[in-house]
Amino acid sequence: MAADFKIAIVGSGPAGLSAAVHAVKLGVPHVLFERAQHLNDTIFKYQKRKHVMATPEVLPLRSDLDFREESREEIIDGWTRSVEEAKLNIRLGVEVTAIKGQKGDFALTLSTGETVSAEFVVLAIGVQGNLNRLRIPGNDLPFVQYQLDDPDEYTGEEIAVIGTGDAGLENALALAINNNVSIINRVADFPRAKAGNIALIEAAIKSGDIHHLANCEPKAIEAGFLVCDTADGAGVRLKVDRVIARIGALPPRRFVESCGVVFPNDSPTAYPPVSETYESQVPGLYIVGALAGYPLIKHCLNQGYEVVEYIQGNNIPPADEPLIQAKLDAAKVAMSVSELVAAVRERLPLFANLTALQVREFLIHSEIHHPAAGEIVFERGEFANSLYNILDGEVGIRVNPDDPNEMVRLRRSEFFGEMALISGRRRTSTVVATADSLLLEVDRNTMVKLVRSEPTIKAGIDKAAVVREIKTFLMPNVEDHVLADVVDSSTVFEFKPNEKLIEEDADDDSVYLIRKGSVTVSMRVGGKDVVLAYLPAGNYIGEMALVTHRHRAATVTAASATEAIRMDSAAFRALLDRDPELRRKVEEKLEQRMIERNLLSRNAEAGDLIGFLVRQGIGEATDVLLIDESLCVRCDNCEKACAETHHGVSRLNREAGPTFAMLHVPTSCRHCEDPHCMTDCPPDAIHRAPNGEVFITDQCIGCGNCERNCPYGVIQMAAVPQKKPGLLSWLFFGRGPGPGEDKSPEGLAHRTGGKHAVKCDMCKGIDGGPACVRACPTGAAIRVDPAGFIDVMRRGQ
Amino acid sequence: MSVSEPVSAPGAADLRPTRHESFLAFDRFRFLKWAVILVALAIVMYLLVRPYGRPYGGGWTGYTLGTVGALLILWLTWFGYRKRSYTENAGRLAARLSAHVYLGIALFFVATLHTGFHFGWNVHTLAYALMCIVIASGIYGVYAYVRYPRQMTENRESMTTVQMLGRIAGIDDELRGVAMPLDDATVAVVERAITDTAVGGSAWRQLSGRYPGCTTAMAIAHMEAHAREVAPANADAWRQTRLKLEEKGAVLQRIRADIRYKALMEVWLYLHVPLTFALLAALTAHIISVFFL
Amino acid sequence: MRRSQHASGPRIGLGRGTDNAVPLADIRVGLHIAALVPREGGIAIEKLGSSPLIINGDSVDYARLNPGDEILLGPYRIEILPPPEGCDGAIQIELVQPMGAALERLSAGARIGLERTGASKRIYAWTGFVVIAVICLAVPIIFYSGGYMQPWSKQATNPKFPQLVGLSWNAGTFSNAHRFFAADCKTCHQGAFAAIPDNACLSCHAKVGNHVMHHVKLGAVGEELASLRCVDCHSEHRGIEGSVIREAHLCLGCHRNLADRAPAAEVRDIGGWPQGHPQFRATLVADAAKGATMRAELGTSPPPMDHPGIKFSHAAHLVKGGFPALGYKEMACADCHVAEPSGQSYLPITYKKQCESCHELSFDKVALPWPDAKVPHGDDVGVIAAVWNYYAGLALRGGAAAAPIPAAAPADRRGAGMPAPPAAAPPPGDTQGWVTAKSLEALRIVFDERRGCAYCHNSTAADGAWNTDKILAGALPPKADPPHVVAPVMLRTRFLPNARFDHASHRGMDCEDCHASRTAQTSGEVLIPGVDNCVKCHGGEKASLQAQSTCITCHIFHRSEFGAMRMTAGATP
């Protein structure tokens, strides 16, 4: 029997809508099911006037729906119009409850009870599809809602917000402006929220703008009241005009599985695997959009278009094909994209488990290099931006900076550059191609995402990294097999800031090799912790106990998010016995450290200085502005210079920030090793330049995530400044705002355009170095990198 | 180098200083040396190459010294522009200031020799006098820049101006509460202390840090005077109000001191800059008058 | 924030105090400011304390309240509402002037930073610039162009504006000489941006002397000289001491190496003073008969000799103990050397003034009936006739008879080659013979080298010796145009004509400090001291322990004897 439709599309998000519209274009009989009463629920639920961006920029849009960076409203209007023109066959307010059958004959059961048949099914239901609802009585009362379109709609109400994820906190903060907001928290703190949001909410609670009910469990909702249990058992009966519950949304896994699709693993973030044509294991059942692991609107639109083409049997190349091809051509590699994709999957074990689609996905953000023998790949001292994979050929790592010929060689299917990628510091050695090679350079942010999502990749990198790190930092010229036991017995530990690696007087004696972040060594002197030393990544610690067979002499604390390799003491000791040369080195170092410590333990001042600087985040900084307040005359020329060189907005606040021993750390970017601001940038607009500058590109959409995420409050949202007249005409006639003078509200009033995140970019692209330092008339302002911190810290002694 | 030392930028030979260095000591007193050499040359020239008659600013020496002096003045004046032109890469401003200071002082000697110690009631001496005042004010500036920053920091205890104002505002709000039950007379003075709090103001106030008729001080004085007449019921409120006022007084003192230091570091510019321009006019008149007639 | 409450009681107090029935929690209101009291079925309000109570615009102490009334009480506005059931009255209180947020108020009130005090560097700078540019630049130029500019004068008790303007540009004090016309800058400053032209000076100083004789051809040096402008050596506004620049550079510029650059000038190179100045060259008499002079360098050995043609010994005259005839008083320089009125130099030495008083030319002292039996000085040709005439006159008066000549003539007085005297005395009555004899006798004395001409003078003979008999042979009776017998004499009054030595300014000194006269035996010895004598006291132009001396201390630039410096007044170089 013939099916009712050729294609049944479930979900009218960007993917589904795009598919439907294209189906109309190709004249394919189709039906589009949307559970909500209106199309395109996803975008509909965006907060009002949300500025939606069209990323990835590079990816060409292929869809019958128009889409560019614009506001939520514009997008909705645009699509509504094209949908009307297209005359889709839409079933609004209808939920598909089950999908049975196989290719050519699927049976879709609808919430209305009826059943529809289709040859192909396109699942485009995304992950936002089903928001979790409260499971308590009264969860469907009219004043209970599960999302918030426009916080400005409500004023003067008593509102209870349930859910302490980012969504909940953001809503609460937005509403608190015009309403009395209480936030209902099962626990006392906010474990599931971004640091930025936590900071904001805690401030709001402190100032009394938001009422925080900790350890409080919603029990029931009655007309005008929210009833909760409290820890003390007394319970509360909260008078509310409105309840907003933001308790997350999960992929409708059960439903998808019920369709016969099998998920690769149990992680809640896992996506159903799909072929290059978006076909799931169930033939004829296609999965596109967020559910297939593509949250970006542009991807969804493209896939909606492509899936229909595939179903029609036209094997069009994916949208990113030309992009990747271009990269190949640029590198003068005679290879087709599919060959490349294949090569990556076969030759690079690291990426073995990635689907072809995922590979294509990160290839867009990767570079292909084709260095001839002898060509330098990267220089020691550059900042890490990427991981290199050897598709072909051979490279040599110059392990000894002084002798270019002393090299460790890597061949096909190995990778390099991961150490700097992990530590976030400068490259520790130069890498040169020793044969004509084909290298795949994967961009840092992409790599970080991959590492986060794919445990196998993380494991793979770590395994190799540990060996190399031990070799580089401890014993460059030792055969791998010598190290074998040490490596096997060693494990990587991650430490949060202020977490202790080693406790004074503990009697463990394993040795730690810091590979990321930095630590401080402190000692209790007269009941007071005296900081003795600051050790950045690349140092090993704990050898003292090992060599002297005594208890731990000092406490080692992570100064920032730190990763350290713990080497088993027995194995390490064995190694020392085998390698007298290494033992000598270790003992020398020990000697020298003993001396430094004795010096320092007598000079608490210096220790305090280190402690202070570490508290100011120098531990994770790669470049920080330090002002000597005994020289600073408060002329604010640094701020003016910054504003002048950066569209009239100063990226640093000279006055703010703490001072210790005349050393002032103003509010200005530290260019962290692992920048907090980068962690959650929707348009991926924050990057790190080869010289280490962390900067924000024009792709910024002003979402403010980075501003919230930065623990040092150095990012601000600012608009484009007004045009300014020449300096002389200000000097002589006072025309227009003077240098750095339009920070005033009036100045800001003149500004135009939407706000964007701005931060210090270390005057990247301005030769002569950072303007703030150049413009300091008294030499009070300097920028120092980790090499310099040590210097500054010694100042105390 | 050991690999465990942090790797710094390749070819880190950019002009980024790695340690704090006062503009006075810039580059091991490079510009002080220059200045000394300049002055030495000027003196030697003055002594060796005498013009006919007594030195009078003319002749080989006179014109050389004069030209050098005039060029110096122009170059020093240009500092005002250079200081604010941030975009062009003209090295560190600290270097420029260092040169500005030392060559500025050198200018005094050059110009003095140029006068040949002839002074009179004319535009020539006027220009010289103006120059001297400008240089003198500049020297005060250096003094201020060396002396006050440290004191300022010590006074602030890493509080920003806004924070201090905020603190005061906070105390004001608290005062409103605690003073409520007190008698009308006291409340009146407290209210005044709250509503008109003098922070900054006239140049004299900012420079002296003295605020005659400070409402807070008056309020404290009032409470001092009427301490006996407190109704026992209000004793507690009285004590708290008193404490708050004292606290406010302390913060006020701190912010006022801060303002004072800032003013002391600024005020000389109000002499330095305008007189520089007066000097430019006088200099022009001097040069023209010399060659005009 | 609306709250409604019900209050009852005989009087309902309003105020800050918590004991009020209606507490007003704002510290701007008094503890008790007013009270509501019931009044025949309605309510009235009465004022308590000092703060004003304003009802419908006018301040009252007590008033009955009707619905719709409005009371202003500090920051509160109280409206009277129609009383609901069972109430005497109803009021609605609202805070109409809420207390502004403290921080805003503070930050608004705080004026931090000097720029907030209204002081503006820019405005001050412009003011200063403009004021000075106008007063010291524009105005003077205008005044100058208009010719109003006047120099400042201390005498002016209340200075005029033009003078102030002049003062502002005046470069220095005027030299005394130029003050009389300094009243008008344009006298010298004839154009803008132009140095003082020579004719500005020549208009007065037309006759200023030239430096070299016009006919001397100096070549390049000459052109240099011609190209000199007055202001090169004379500069004004240097104070009252004058506008002449005395520095040696000026002269040495040319004179350091003039010998080879301009031989025609016949001058030696001068290195400077005192070092580098060559020995003086005195102008001496080469040959008195011919009147020829010569320049001889002083201080040579043998020392240069003068040839004045006279026998004179300073030493003999300045002999110790003096002369009996003068009462044994020693002679002094001043006895003979008489300063000219200016005192700069000395009057010429003459027989009449200096010699005659001691050395009179008398003959025949033996028996003179009248005193003036003298031969004229300076007229050697007339001497013989004068003696003859004397004895002839004596004879006419019978002198011959009265004093016959003794027969025997002293033989020893006969020299070789002498004409034999008359063998015998002339017979009495032979008057001519007598006169001749007498004259011969006298003339022998006149030409005598002890008492006569020969004492000081040379004869005209080649060797200058005196051969009396030869002279007298056939000389009597006198003939027409007899021969000269005394060689001519030539005495110089200035020995260093190119320098200018002022004896007056050295008057304080002793002559012998410079002139070694006591040892000078002959008239040939030159008593002019050499340069080494001057440098004892005269140092260079910057000497501190000697008299500061420059070229023009002794040498004159403008030599009027050479004619005018510039051909015609107004001729520009």
Q: Give per-residue pLDDT as tens, C70-103.
A: 888 878 888 888 887 778 888 888 887 776 677 7
User: Do residues A311 and A22 lie in contact, with contact meaning Cβ atoms separated by under 8 Å?
Assistant: no
Q: Would you say residue B103 has pLDDT above 90?
A: yes
% helix, strand, coil for chain A, step of 5? 35, 25, 40
CA distance C182 to chain B (A): 14
Which of C2, C107, C122 to probe the A interface (max A CBs under 10 A)? C122
pLDDT tens, A457-485?
888 888 888 888 887 777 766 777 778 88
- Return the CA Rg of chain B: 28
Chain centre distance of CA C362: 56
Element (H, E) at A181: strand A180-184
CA distance C62 to chain B (A): 21
Q: Cβ of B18 and A784 within 8 Å?
A: yes
Where is average pLDDT lowest: A71-85, A174-188, A259-273? A259-273
Q: How far, in Å, CA of C93 to CA of C85, rounded?
A: 19
**Which of B121, B165, B181 lies at the smallest CB-CB distance from C18?**
B181
β pairing state of A90-92 and A70-71: unpaired
pLDDT band of residue C418 (cuts 50, 70, 90) is: very low
**Minimum Cα–Cα distance from C153: chain B residue:** B121
Average pLDDT in the C431-452 region?
Answer: 82
User: Do residues B155 and B258 lie in contact, with contact meaning Cβ atoms separated by under 8 Å?
Assistant: yes
Q: How far, in Å, CA of A392 to CA of A389, rounded?
A: 9
Where is average pLDDT lowest: B128-132, B270-274, B288-292? B288-292
Q: How far, in Å, CA of A295 to CA of A288, rounded?
A: 10
Q: How far, in Å, CA of A17 to CA of A90, rounded?
A: 10
Residue with tokens 């004249």: A27
Read off the tokens for A64. 């019958």
CA distance A776 to chain B (A): 6
Burial of C474 from C-beta contacts in 10 A (0-12 / 13-18 / 19+): exposed
pLDDT tens, B8-44?
554 444 456 777 888 998 888 999 999 999 999 999 9
How far, CA to CA in Å, does C126 sit from each of A733, B68, B278, C118, C123?
9, 25, 8, 15, 5
Per DSSP, what are the bridge partners of residue A695? A687
C49 φψ region: left (φ > 0), alpha (ψ -120 to 50), beta (else): left
pLDDT tens, A495-545?
888 888 888 888 888 889 888 888 888 888 777 788 888 888 888 888 888
Average pLDDT in the A756-775 region?
Answer: 85
pLDDT for B293 equals 65
pLDDT for B1 equals 27
CA distance A731 to chain C (A): 8
Q: Would you say residue C366 has pLDDT above 70?
A: no
Given CB atoms, is C145 within the 8 Å cutoff of chain B? no
Q: Cβ of A632 and B156 within 8 Å?
A: no
**Minimum Cα–Cα distance from B99: chain A residue:** A777
- Return the CA Rg of chain A: 30
Q: How far, in Å, CA of A638 to CA of A631, rounded?
A: 13
ipTM confidence score: 0.72
Range with the largest mean pLDDT of A620-629, B262-271, C269-278? B262-271
pLDDT tens, C466-522?
888 888 888 888 888 888 889 999 998 889 988 989 999 998 899 999 998 988 999
Q: Cβ of C136 and B173 within 8 Å?
A: no
DSSP for A506-575, please give it.
-----EEEEEESEEEEEEEETTEEEEEEEEETT-EE-HHHHHHT----SEEEESSSEEEEEEPHHHHHHH
pLDDT band of residue C564 (cuts 50, 70, 90) is: confident
User: Considering only CA atoms, which of A676, A343, A568, A731 is closest in space to residue B78?
Assistant: A731
Q: How far, in Å, CA of A626 to CA of A780, rounded?
A: 8
Read off the tokens for A154. 């409500």
pLDDT band of residue C464 (cuts 50, 70, 90) is: confident
How far, CA to CA in Å, does A4 sit from each of A12, A92, A112, A780?
19, 18, 17, 78
User: Do residues A24 and A88 lie in contact, with contact meaning Cβ atoms separated by under 8 Å?
Assistant: yes
Read off the tokens for A193. 């929220």
Chain centre distance of CA A623: 20
Q: Would you say residue B99 has pLDDT above 90?
A: yes
Q: How far, in Å, CA of C491 to CA of C284, rounded?
A: 9
Counted residue by residue, chain C has a size of 573
pLDDT for A530 equals 80
Q: How far, in Å, CA of A418 to CA of A385, rounded?
A: 10
Burial B103-115 (b: 16+ CB within 10 A, else e): bbbbbbbbbbbbb
pLDDT for A138 equals 84
Chains that touch C (3 or more CB pairs under 8 A): A, B
Which of A631, A645, A730 to probe the B interface (max B CBs under 10 A)? A631
Given CB atoms, is A734 within the 8 Å cutoff of chain C? yes
Which of C26, C27, C167 to probe the B interface (max B CBs under 10 A)? C27
Where is average pLDDT lowest: A138-152, A628-642, C517-531? A138-152
C-beta neighbour count of A236 within 10 angstroms:
15
Average pLDDT score, chain A: 83
Q: How far, in Å, CA of A404 to CA of A402, rounded?
A: 6
User: Do residues A663 and A606 lie in contact, with contact meaning Cβ atoms separated by under 8 Å?
Assistant: no
- Per DSSP (E only), the strands in A293-385 are 366-369, 376-378
Percent of chain A with pLDDT over 90: 9
% helix, strand, coil for chain B, step of 5? 75, 0, 25
Q: Cβ of A381 and B7 within 8 Å?
A: yes
pLDDT for B12 equals 43
**Minimum Cα–Cα distance from B174: chain C residue:** C102
Given CB atoms, is A739 within the 8 Å cutoff of chain B? yes
Range with the largest mean pLDDT of A261-270, A723-732, B214-223, C242-251? B214-223
Burial of B139 from C-beta contacts in 10 A (0-12 / 13-18 / 19+): middle
Burial of C57 from C-beta contacts in 10 A (0-12 / 13-18 / 19+): exposed
Given CB atoms, is A640 within the 8 Å cutoff of chain B? yes
Q: How far, in Å, CA of A399 to CA of A407, rounded?
A: 6
User: Do residues A647 and A720 lie in contact, with contact meaning Cβ atoms separated by under 8 Å?
Assistant: yes
Q: How far, in Å, CA of A207 to CA of A197, rounded?
A: 15
Given CB atoms, is A473 within the 8 Å cutoff of chain B? yes
For residue C97, the chain B residues in CB contact (below 8 A) are: none
Read off the tokens for B141. 């500036």
pLDDT band of residue B4 (cuts 50, 70, 90) is: very low
pLDDT tens, A353-385?
787 878 888 888 888 999 999 899 888 888 777
Q: Cβ of A768 and B15 within 8 Å?
A: yes
CA distance B47 to chain C (A): 13
Chains that touch A (3 or more CB pairs under 8 A): B, C
Q: Would you say residue C572 has pLDDT above 50?
A: no
Burial of A78 from C-beta contacts in 10 A (0-12 / 13-18 / 19+): middle
Residue A49, classed as helix, strand or coil, is coil
Per DSSP, what are the bridge partners of residue C486? C459
Q: Would you say residue C368 has pLDDT above 50?
A: no
pLDDT band of residue A195 (cuts 50, 70, 90) is: low
Give alpha helix (H) positions in C30-152. 102-109, 121-133, 139-146
**Between residues 201 and 230 of chain C, which touch chain B (CB distance below 8 Å)?**
none
For residue A731, the chain C residues in CB contact (below 8 A) are: 122
Average pLDDT in the C228-234 region?
Answer: 84
Where is average pLDDT lowest: A31-35, A273-277, C418-422? C418-422
Average pLDDT score, chain C: 82
Per DSSP, what are the bridge partners of residue A398? A407
pLDDT for B178 equals 87
Residue C230, classed as helix, strand or coil, is helix
Which of A630, A637, A642, A792 to probe the B interface (max B CBs under 10 A)? A630
Given CB atoms, is A732 within the 8 Å cutoff of chain C? yes
Q: Would you say residue A696 has pLDDT above 50?
A: yes
pLDDT for A797 equals 46
Q: Cβ of C136 and B289 within 8 Å?
A: yes
Average pLDDT in the A433-456 region?
Answer: 84
